[in-house]
Structure 1
Amino acid sequence: MTNQKNTGERQQKIIVFLLFIVLILASIIVGTFNKINLIEKQPVTKAPDIEPIEAVAPVSTGKIAIIIDDFGYRNDAVSEGFLNMDADLTYSVIPGHEYSQTMSKKAFQLGYEVIVHIPMGTTAPKYGEDEYIIKASMTSAEIESRMDKVLQHLPEAVGMNNHQGSKASASKRVMNVMGTVLKENGKYFLDSRTTKETQAELIMRILGVPTGRRHVFLDNNADENSISQQLYILAEKAKTSGFAVGIGHVKENTLNVLQREIPKLKADNFEFVFVSEVVN
């Protein structure tokens, strides 16, 4: 009996011990589970959005628009040099010459702006220009016909400036007819201001044709030092007024100066732009 009693007591103790172990294990499991839930439920702190820093464009010192007149006379190293300039330049082509259409197409294809350098009443007619020239003595119908013809001859042109022709550009009637045709075709007119009596800019504004004026001639004096001085006068005008328009010609010295000085002016944050960007 005593042995059976002792055996029963040992069994009870073992059962109690096992239950104690089970309870401890259960507590550990429950505690671990709660910790896992707590970790999962903890709010995740979102990293603040960081806006990308954009590069700040340098402030423009001024816009310089340069027209190079007299394309069409030549097709050589000088004209090719202009067609390789690393700047937005506007090339003005005289109609009717041997290389007029060739230069117009090449300049356009290379991404430059092309305009018509319209001969207006020069007293020294040159071969090829006669059928395109605008004279103050012409009737309005004749002027309109010439304008249509020249725009068909140089379809790449987005505008026009005058070549000589002081008498014609001083005529309100002539400029009115020319301006009407330009407006119908969506072209602009830049007044080269070859005479102080010019009516071109005024009439274009009245008609609503985008227009502007030449501020500086770069190469009336063909000396490189003089051309450089004129270029920096143009730059100073652009700096004080926001923009300025200069006119040069397809000449070797003009090319040399522009190749040398344009990079320097760009380094000073001057912008070289097409004339279409500054007419209004």
Structure 2
Amino acid sequence: MIYRVLLGLFIFFVTICTLVFVNKPVDNSVDKSIVLPPKVAETQNNDSQNLQAKAPIIESVFDTASSAKKTVEAPDIAPLFDILADSEPDSDEVPAKSKDKATKSKGHGQIAIVIDDLGYSKYTRDIIDMDQNVTAAFLPDAPHVTEYMQRAADKGHEIIIHMPMEAGHFDKEEKSILKIGMSKDEVYERLDAAFEKVPLAIGINNHTGSKYTSDYEALRPVMFYLRAHDKFMLDSRTIASSKVPDAAEDLGVPYLVRHVFIDHFDDDKEIDEALSNVERIARENGFVIA
């Protein structure tokens, strides 16, 4: 099935509209009730500019002062996260977060493809060896994950961690899973272990996690960790009530939200419809994460 998906991805010929995320002022103060472990605390003590809060928006908000990194004429199915480094404004004045600032270029758009479950999937090596660059999301407990990560990086793919989080409808105990009720130290330790196995990761997205991502308080130590380590989170949006955007914005963590699951169903017709939806959103919205 995955070959069907990958084949479908390459039929799109949509030109890109460069996306630059805008920021909003947030409270940068660290919750005094949370004592950070050594790795986090050490980073917190660095120059405060390294932890400048930035909460990129979701959906269709754009900054019209776009980066020159990409040209608008070039067709692109590209990883999304390379633009996060350019998302902060040059001046201290933060532009207002408003959908009125959206730049929707009809017929133009960027498609960002995130491939989940890498490491355990039998297609891991095939995906890594693709010429088209994608964002590779590796499960941290997978065998040989560090070796696969390095191979993917050598091929030019961007790396994130597909972090296991507690689901709402089934119990699947994985070594690295984050669960509601864990202490902040347990959360930090599991994130530390995951990034030690996948050290080139620039952020995380959630593997399952419908229960965990619906709990604002459970997400707080995750967001403190990500902010302290200059990482971001992609909300896989396994549930509509996800609190990832709220927690990320409140604690100044860059975040993104997936729009479409391409292969949620192992059915050719469903996949074709999902691909059509990807193209439509890219054209209407300027970008899509799938």
Q: TM-score range by the shorter chain?
A: 0.5 to 0.7
Within 2, Cα distance between the matches of 1:153 and 1:65? 25
1:85 aligns with 2:130: yes
The offset of 1:229, in angstroms, is 2.2
**Equivalent in 105, 109, 118 of residue 71 of structure 1:** 118
- Cα distance between partner residues in 1 of 2:236 and 2:246: 13
Give the residue type in structure 2 aligned to 1:120: M
Alignment partner, residue 97 of structure 1: 142
Where structure 1 has 5 or more consecutive residues not aligned to the other structure, the ranges are: 1-55, 247-280
1:41-98 deviations in Å (ceiling 9; x for gaps): xxxxxxxxxxxxxxx9626620111111000104x5x323212323231011111121
Q: How does 1:196-275 map to 2 (within 5 A)?
A: 196-246=240-290
Could you say if the C-alpha distance between residues 97 and 124 of structure 1 is closer, same or farther in structure 2, counting changes exceeding 3 Å? Answer: farther
Task: Say if 1:148 and 1:181, in contact at 8 Å, map to a contact too.
Answer: no
Aligned counterpart in structure 1 of residue 213 of structure 2, from 139, 145, 169: 169
**Counterpart residue number, 1:39:** none
Once structures 1 and 2 are overlaid, which stretch shifts more, 141-150 or 209-218?
Answer: 141-150
Question: Aligned letter for 2:111?
Answer: I
Spell out, residue by residue over 1:107-129, the C-alpha distance to the aligned partner (whole angstroms, 9 max, x if none): 11211001000000143435xx3
Task: Decide whether the 8 Å contact of 1:190 with 1:201 is kept in 2.
Answer: no
TM-score normalised to structure 2 length = 0.60
Equivalent residues of 2:181, 2:218 under 8 A apart: no
2:265–2:271 CA contact under 8 A, matched in 1: yes
Q: Quote the Cα distance in structure 1 between the aligned partners of 2:110 and 2:166.
A: 32
Higher helix share: 1
Q: Secondary structure at the match of 1:166?
A: coil
- Superposition RMSD on alpha carbons, in Å? 1.8
Q: State the alpha-carbon separation in 2 of the partners of residues 232 and 209 from structure 1.
A: 31
> Which TM-score applies when normalising by structure 1?
0.62
Alpha-carbon separation, structure 1, partners of 2:273 and 2:72: 29
2:28 corresponds to which residue? none
Q: Residues 165 and 207 of structure 2 are in contact (CA less than 8 Å); yes or no, is this contact kept in structure 1?
A: yes
2:113 match: secondary structure: strand
2: distance between equivalents of 1:235 and 1:156?
30
Aligned with 1:216: secondary structure?
Answer: coil
| Match of residue 152 from structure 1 | 196
Equivalent position SS for 1:105:
helix
Q: Which amino acid aligns with 1:115?
A: I
Identity across the alignment (%): 31
Q: Please list every run of 5 or more consecutive structure 2 residues that lacks an aligned counterpart in the other structure.
A: 1-70, 76-107
- Match 1:121 to one of 146, 166, 179: 166
| Residue 62 (str. 1) matches residue 77 (str. 2) | no
Q: Using a 3 Å threshold, how does the CA distance of structure 1 residues 57 and 195 change in structure 2: closer, same or farther?
A: closer
**Structure 2 SS opposite 1:239:** helix
Pair member with larger Rg: 1
Q: How do 1:1-40 residues align onto structure 2 when only pairs under 5 Å count?
A: none
CA distance in 1, matches of 2:226, 2:262: 27
